[in-house]
Amino acid sequence: MKAAINGINLAYTDKGQGTPLVFLHAFPLSKVMWQPQVHALTEFYRVVTLDLPGHGESDALLWNLTLDDYAKDVVSLLDHLNIGQTVFIGLSMGGYILFSVYRNFPDRVKGMVLADTRAQADSQEGKAGRRAMAQLANKEGSSAIADLMLPKLLAPSTVQQRPDIVKQVRTMILQTPKEGIIVDLMAMADRPDSIGLLSTITCPTLIIVGEDDVATPVTESRYMADRITNSTLITIPGAGHLSNFEQPASFNQSLQNFLATHRL
C-alpha cells in the first residue's frame, strides 16, 4: 500500500489487529527486513512496516532530509492510519529515528524497542567515514555499498552458513537507490547526540543486540540499558547487527515476552 505523506508516496504494510507495533528499518535496507516479525506477530498485533523515503518502494529522495524529517514522516503516516500511541521497534538507523520520535512526539510512544543501535552521535572520524561512503555510493552505486555493508550487518557465522540471508540482504541494498543511501548518510552524520535523552525515557523499553554485532557492539546497548530506567537488555547469540533477520525466533520471543510483561 502507498500513502501520500509530506509530498512523497510512502510504501507501507498494515496487517493484523490489536496493539499497533510500528517497525523502523535500518540503513540501507527496507521494510522487507521485518518480514520474519510480520509473519510471527500479525496473528496477535497490528503490525505496521514502512519504507522510509528513498528506500524500497517509496518515492526516491531528490533533496536532503534529516532524521527528524524521517520521524515526522513516520508520525504523519500514523496519523493517516489513525494510530495514536504505539509501540515502536527501531533497528540501528531505525533506532536513531525512534530517538527523534521520542524527542519530538513523546505522547505517541507507548513502549519502545531499541535494537542494535546507539545513543551517541557520530565522532569526527565517523562523519568522515559517512562522507567517504557517500562518495562511493555516488561513484559505484548500491552494489559497492552492499559489498561494504554485508560484513557489518551480518555475523561471520551468518555469512558463512546462511547464503539465503546474505542474498536477501544484498537484494534489499541493491533496491535502495544511491540517492536514498546518500541522504541517509548525511542525515545520520548530522544527527544529535541522544545520551541526554536516555534518562528522560519513562516508557517500557526493550534493548536487543546481537552478540556478534560489530556495528553497534553490546557495550553500546549496555550503556543505554544503564541509563533508561524502565529497560531490559537482551543479547541474542548467533546474531550480528541484523539480529531480527539473523535470529528471528529469539528476537520475536524477546519482543513477545516484553509486550506481555508490560501488557502492551
Residues near ligand MLT (CB under 6 A): 26-27, 92-93, 188, 215, 241
Which residue number, 11 or 215, has a Cβ lying nearer to ligand MLT? 215
243/1 Cα distance (integer angstroms): 26
Output 93 or 255, the one with its CB closest to ligand MLT.
93
**Minimum separation from the CB atom of position 16 to ligand MLT (A):** 25
Residue among 94 and 204 whose Cβ is closer to ligand MLT: 94
Phi, psi at residue 35, to the nearest 5°? -55, -40
Name the pairing type of β-strands 231-236 and 109-115. unpaired
- Least separation in angstroms between residue 92's CB and ligand MLT is 3
Shortest gap between Cβ of 178 and ligand MLT (angstroms)?
16
| 204 HSE (CA, 13 A, CB side) | 13
Shortest distance (Å) from residue 44 CB to ligand MLT: 27
User: CB of 225 within 8 A of CB of 207?
Assistant: yes
CB nearer to ligand MLT: pick between 134 and 259: 134
Q: Indicate if the alpha-carbon torsion angle 255, 220, 151, 234 is positive or negative.
A: negative
Is the bond into 204 cis (omega within 30 degrees of 0)? no
